[in-house]
Amino acid sequence: MPREVRDVVFVDGVRTPFGKAGGMYANTRADDLLIRCIRELLRRNPQLPPERVEEVAIAATTQIGDQGLTLGRTAALLAGLPKTVPGFSIDRMCAGAMTAVTTVASGIAMGAYDIAIAGGVEHMGRHPMGEGVDPNPRIIAEKLVDPSALVMGSTAENLHDRVPQITKDRTDAFALASQQKTAKAYANGKLQDDLVPVAIRDEENGWGLATVDEAPRDTSLEKLGTLKTPFRPHGKVTAGNAAGLNDGATASLLASEDVARELGLPVAMRLVSFGFVGVEPEVMGIGPIPSTEKALRIAGLTIDDIGLFELNEAFAVQVLAFLDHFGIADDDPRVNQWGGAIAIGHPLASSGVRLMTQLARQFAEHPEVRYGLTAMCIGIGMGGTVIWENPHWTGSAEQAGQEGNK
């Protein structure tokens, strides 16, 4: 029986403020961060009957403790969704939430269900990356990968070796710009609509409320230039030009476009294509380059058609390698308009939905832009890219191309 592929839309997305690992969320459970996001999605979209949610896909890189036990199902129950709503957990390291979105979107597109929730959580203060894992020794002994492939900061140094034109001065300048753009975005009220306040508890100060990200900091090129290079003597990667270790959660609501319009749900973005690829694990930061080429090929687009970019700033060198490859300037205004993970933070499996939520907000402000993309590098040598269409687009195809060439 032939099936029609349905258009899938991103309805809404939210996130907790991102904390420093072991910082403001030291006494908060990871699953409670996630539950807060799911409940907020339902609160913001009262026209959605909870029983119409047919799947909950939640990502976590370290699936133990309060990030374990089939988190998609347990979080759905704890968030108050009906017991008829199933759920599952998913892991693709940094691209966990991105993969949760593309996985449920695929199910929606082929008609398995109409509406789903996808997101991710990472409490790196409680569960450092790699906790409890037991890599097969053959992966090193048989030289399938270099030992540096298992240390993300070392892979960034390896990438610097491949792209010597990306100097430490360039990465520090990019990092400073990320901090400045995030500070400006907060000052202009751009990020606040994404955030879900979270009750927090401190043993000394009692109860409080997390309302802003904890990681952004005031810095300068001079300060960034003095930071140590922990992954290599006289290296280029520092705590200043890389994302930190963070705690936080995200959640998004996806639906088939016809059902979204039937229920009166907002249509923030329309899914166009996505691509995941494998690359050499030792230089995992190059992953977004071939994944973007794949997603563009599937969509029948070129890089010049993309009017907005949300690129995960795991390391500045990784973003700059992407920009160099596609001939995009370091300070191109289409890229990470409100800053990125270097300033905001990168709680691993949750970050993909943060990128999408920010892109959706930017689409609403830029009806002249037709296409945007979210992309990220992924540990153990992968890349992921999702291309989205702006439902608010008012221009012509020719205008969209001109926008991409600006």
- Which residues are part of the catalytic machinery? 94, 346, 377
The DSSP code for 128 is -
Q: Which residues pair with 13 in a beta bridge?
A: 252
132: left (phi over 0), alpha (psi -120 to 50) or beta: left
Distance CA 127, CA 62 (A): 7
Rg (CA), the chain: 20
Q: How far apart are the first and last CA of the chain?
A: 46
333: left (phi over 0), alpha (psi -120 to 50) or beta: alpha
- b/e burial code for range 12-45 (CB count within 10 A of at least 16 → b): bbbbbbbbbbebbbbebebbbbbbbbbbbbbeeb
Token look-up 């520092």 returns: 238
DSSP string, 132-154: T----THHHHTTSS-GGGG-HHH
Q: Which residues pair with 199 in a beta bridge?
A: 209
CA dihedral 126, 127, 129, 135 (to 10 degrees): 150
- b/e burial code for range 216-249 (CB count within 10 A of at least 16 → b): beebeeeebeebebebbeebbbbbbbbbbbbbbb
DSSP string, 152-212: HHHHHHHHHHH-TTS-HHHHHHHHHHHHHHHHHHHHTTSSGGGB--EEEEETTTEEEEE-S
